[in-house]
């Protein structure tokens, strides 16, 4: 059963900027260059026939190209950090695109996303981290800013879970 999500791939120069941030937290499982993406919507496991319907429905989304810029770092898991991420400068076009993706997926019968959309690029996953080191990392990289980059497409991905972490394969480029 495919495990799906919809995301945006940063260009290679921005990925290089992100890769340069990946050190300084012992035990962190840093993302690889191929894993770096901005999730628009996690879909989860779907039955095979639903995949084709999702692909077709996503192809109907049309938005004008827009620019994004990464800004700062943060973490999920207040008392027990489990993810370190790079954030984004607020972007109305990004939120509109994520909203359109959400609408299309709901029309395909998927349940609505219940979590607030927090645009980010995951940098590392953490298991039993030293909180002091995590917060020092966040402080050290708080002023991180990427170069602006244009968004002209998004992708439907299939995610494969493995012991070394998830690896993602692009199923379809859309828009």
Domains of the chain by start residue, with CATH: 3-174 (3.90.1140.10)
Q: Taking the chain, what is the end-to-end CA distance rounded to the nearest angstrom? A: 25
Mean pLDDT of the chain: 93
> Measured on CA atoms in the order 127, 111, 117, 38, is the torsion positive or negative?
positive
- Report the interhelical angle of 92-107 vs 48-58 (nearest 10°): 140
Confidence band of 32 (pLDDT split at 50, 70, 90): very high
pLDDT of residue 47: 86
- Which of the residues 37, 95, 141, 160 is marked catalytic? 37
| Lowest mean pLDDT, pick from 96-110, 120-134, 151-165 | 151-165
CA distance 115 to 48: 25
Q: Interior CA angle at 36 toward 129 and 105, to 5°?
A: 105
Q: Please check the confidence at residue 43 and state whether its pLDDT lies above 60.
A: yes
Average pLDDT over residues 59-85: 95
Residues recorded for the chain: 175
155 counts as catalytic: no
pLDDT of residue 166: 61
- Which of the residues 95, 120, 141, 160 is marked catalytic? 120
CA distance 145 to 89: 9
Q: Please check the confidence at residue 163 and state whether its pLDDT lies above 80.
A: no
* Neighbouring-strand partners of residue 66: 151
Using the 8-state DSSP alphabet, how is residue 139 labeled? H
Q: In 3D, which of 117, 9, 107 has the Cα closest to residue 58?
A: 107
SS3 135: helix
């Amino acid at each position: 059963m495919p495990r799906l999500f919809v995301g945006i791939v940063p260009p290679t120069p921005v990925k290089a900027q992100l890769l340069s941030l990946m050190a300084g937290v012992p035990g962190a499982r840093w993302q690889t260059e191929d894993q770096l993406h901005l999730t628009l919507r996690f879909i989860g496991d779907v039955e095979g026939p639903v995949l084709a319907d999702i692909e077709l429905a996503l192809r109907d989304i049309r938005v004008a190209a827009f620019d994004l810029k990464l800004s700062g770092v943060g973490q999920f898991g207040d008392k027990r950090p489990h993810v370190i991420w790079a954030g984004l400068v607020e972007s109305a076009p990004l939120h509109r695109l994520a909203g359109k993706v959400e609408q299309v997926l709901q029309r395909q019968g998927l349940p609505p996303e219940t979590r607030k959309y927090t645009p980010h690029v995951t940098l590392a996953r953490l298991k039993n981290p030293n909180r002091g080191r995590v917060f020092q990392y966040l402080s050290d990289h708080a002023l991180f800013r990427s170069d602006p980059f244009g968004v002209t497409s998004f992708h439907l991905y299939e995610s494969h879970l493995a012991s070394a972490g998830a690896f993602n394969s692009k199923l379809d480029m859309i828009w």
